[in-house]
C-alpha cells in the first residue's frame, strides 16, 4: 500500500527534479523560437532558409569555441584565453601559409597541435599548482595575444589558392540553400562533443569533476587527466575556431576576436550550463550561440539599431539566465 502511494509521489518528484535540469535549455529554445518569430514577422526576408543556415555559417567559429568552453565550464573552470588563442591561430596560419609558403594542411595540423598543447599546459598548471583557472587562463590570454603581436602587428591576407578555395567552397542543398565547409566542421565538432560528453568515460568524469572534485577524486576517477583534457579540448577548439575564422575573413590579425571569450561564456551560460560546473548540455550551448546569432541578425536587419545594443541585450540575457539558474538551484537544494 505504502509503495503504491510512495511510487507515484517519487515519480512526480523525480520528474520535477529531472525537469529542473532541462528548464534553462527549454527556456533558451523558447526564447530562440520567439526571437526568430519576431524577426520573421518584421522582415519578410527573415523567413528564407538561407538566413537560418547563415546563422550557422557566420557563427561556425563561435560554435566551436563555445563547445570547447562547455567542457571547461562543466568541470567547474573557466577559459579566458579562447579569443586570444583564436587570434594567434589566425595570425600563425596566415603567416605560415602566406609568408612561408607552407602547405595549408600542414599549417592547420601544426596549429591544432599547438592549441591543444597550449590548453593542456594551462590545465596542468591549474591542476598541479592549484592556481585559479581564472588567473592562469588570463595569463594564457596575455601570452597568446602577445605572441600574435610579436609575429605580426599588421593584418596578413591569405592568398594561397588551396586555402581560398577551401574557404569559399559552397555546397548547394537544393537550388536556394548552400552551406560552407566551416559549418560542416562546426557540426562535426558539435556531434563529437555530444558523443564524448554523454557516451564516454571522459564525458562522465567531466560531469563528476564539476559536480564535486573531492568526491570524484575519492571515487578514484582520473581527475588530473580529465581536467587537463578539458583545457586541452578547449585549446584545440580555439585553434580550430581560428582556422574557421581564417576561412571567414581570409586574413590573420592579432586584433581578431577581441572579447570573444565573453561571447563564448555568454553562449554557454545562456545555453543552460551551470557556471559552477557539473550540469549542462552541449546542445544547449549550440542554442546559446544561435540565440546570440539571432540577436545580431535582427539588429543588422533593423539597420538603425547599433552594435552596442547587442552587448546590452547579451548582458540582460546573461542576467536573466544566471538568476534563473540561481532560482532553480536554490529550489533543488531546499
Partner 1 sequence: MSSGVTALLRHRLFWPAMALVVLLAVDAVHTPGFLAVRVQDGHLYGSLIDILRYGAPLVLVSVGMTLVIAARGIDLSVGAVVAISGALACLHIEGLTDQNAVTGVLVAVVLAFAVAAALGLWNGILVSRFRIQPIVATLILMVAGRGLAQLLTEGQIITVDSDPYRVIGGGFLLGLPVPVLIAAAITVLMVLLLRRTALGLLLESVGGNAEASRLAGVRAGGLIVAAYVVCACCAAIAGLMSSSNVSAADSNNAGLWIELDAILAVVIGGTALTGGRFHLGGTVLGALVIQTLTTTIYTIGVAPETTLLFKALVVIAVCLVQSPAFRAKVFRKRPPDQRKPLADTGGEVLAEATRKSVSR
Name the minimum Å distance from CB 322 to partner 1.
Answer: 6
Q: Which is nearer to partner 1, 201 or 326 (CB)?
A: 326
Q: Which residues inside 248-277 make contact with partner 1, applying CB under 8 A?
A: 254, 262, 265-266, 269, 275-276
Nearest to 264 by CA among 75, 125, 78, 55: 78
Per CB under 8 A, 304 contacts partner 1: no
Cell representation of residue 40: 520573421
Among 43, 52, 102, 149, binds partner 1 (CB under 8 A): 149
Among 33, 45, 171, 319, binds partner 1 (CB under 8 A): 319
Q: Total number of residues binding partner 1 (CB under 8 A)?
A: 44
Cell representation of residue 321: 539566465
The answer to whether 64 and 189 have CB atoms below 8 angstroms apart is: yes
Sign (positive or negative) of CA dihedral 271, 87, 68, 214: negative
Name the minimum Å distance from CB 148 to partner 1.
Answer: 9
Gap between the terminal Cα atoms of the chain: 28
DSSP lists the bridge partners of residue 171 as 179
The answer to whether 152 and 92 have CB atoms below 8 angstroms apart is: no
Name the minimum Å distance from CB 176 to partner 1.
Answer: 35
Among 106, 109, 150, 219, binds partner 1 (CB under 8 A): 150
Q: Would you give the DSSP letter of residue 47?
A: G
Q: Which is nearer to partner 1, 93 or 254 (CB)?
A: 254
Please give the Cα distance from 280 to 227 (Å, whole number).
17
Residues in contact with partner 1 by the rule CB under 8 A = 78, 125, 128-132, 134-136, 138-143, 145-147, 149-150, 153, 254, 262, 265-266, 269, 275-276, 306-312, 314-316, 318-319, 322-323, 326
Amino acid at each position: 500500500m505504502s509503495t503504491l502511494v510512495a511510487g507515484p509521489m517519487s515519480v512526480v518528484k523525480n520528474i520535477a527534479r529531472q525537469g529542473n535540469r532541462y528548464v534553462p535549455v527549454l527556456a533558451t529554445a523558447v526564447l530562440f523560437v520567439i526571437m526568430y518569430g519576431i524577426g520573421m514577422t518584421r522582415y519578410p526576408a527573415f523567413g528564407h532558409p538561407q538566413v537560418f543556415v547563415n546563422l550557422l555559417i557566420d557563427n561556425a567559429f563561435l560554435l566551436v569555441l563555445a563547445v570547447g568552453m562547455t567542457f571547461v565550464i562543466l568541470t567547474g573552470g573557466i577559459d579566458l584565453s579562447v579569443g586570444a588563442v583564436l587570434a594567434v591561430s589566425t595570425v600563425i596560419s596566415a603567416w605560415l601559409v602566406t609568408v612561408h609558403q607552407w602547405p595549408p594542411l600542414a599549417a592547420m595540423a601544426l596549429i591544432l597541435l599547438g592549441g591543444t598543447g597550449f590548453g593542456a599546459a594551462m590545465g596542468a598548471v591549474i591542476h598541479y599548482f592549484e592556481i585559479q583557472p581564472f588567473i592562469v587562463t588570463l595569463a594564457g590570454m596575455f601570452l597568446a595575444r602577445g605572441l600574435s603581436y610579436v609575429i605580426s602587428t599588421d593584418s596578413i591576407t591569405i592568398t594561397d589558392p588551396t586555402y581560398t578555395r577551401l574557404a569559399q567552397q559552397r555546397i548547394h542543398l537544393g537550388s536556394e540553400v548552400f552551406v560552407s565547409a566551416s559549418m560542416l566542421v562546426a557540426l562535426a565538432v558539435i556531434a563529437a562533443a555530444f558523443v564524448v560528453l554523454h557516451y564516454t568515460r571522459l564525458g562522465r568524469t567531466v560531469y563528476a569533476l564539476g559536480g564535486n572534485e573531492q568526491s570524484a577524486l575519492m571515487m578514484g576517477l582520473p581527475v588530473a587527466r580529465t581536467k587537463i583534457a578539458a583545457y586541452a579540448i578547449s585549446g584545440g577548439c580555439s585553434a580550430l575556431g581560428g582556422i574557421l575564422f581564417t576561412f571567414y575573413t581570409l586574413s590573420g590579425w592579432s586584433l581578431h576576436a577581441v572579447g570573444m571569450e565573453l561571447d563564448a561564456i555568454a553562449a554557454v551560460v545562456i545555453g543552460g550550463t551551470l557556471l559552477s560546473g557539473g550540469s549542462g548540455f552541449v546542445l544547449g550551448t549550440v542554442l546559446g550561440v544561435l540565440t546570440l546569432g539571432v540577436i545580431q541578425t535582427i539588429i543588422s536587419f533593423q539597420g538603425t539599431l547599433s552594435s552596442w545594443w547587442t552587448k546590452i541585450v547579451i548582458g540582460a540575457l546573461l542576467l536573466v539566465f544566471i538568476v534563473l539558474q540561481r532560482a532553480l538551484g536554490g529550489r533543488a537544494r531546499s
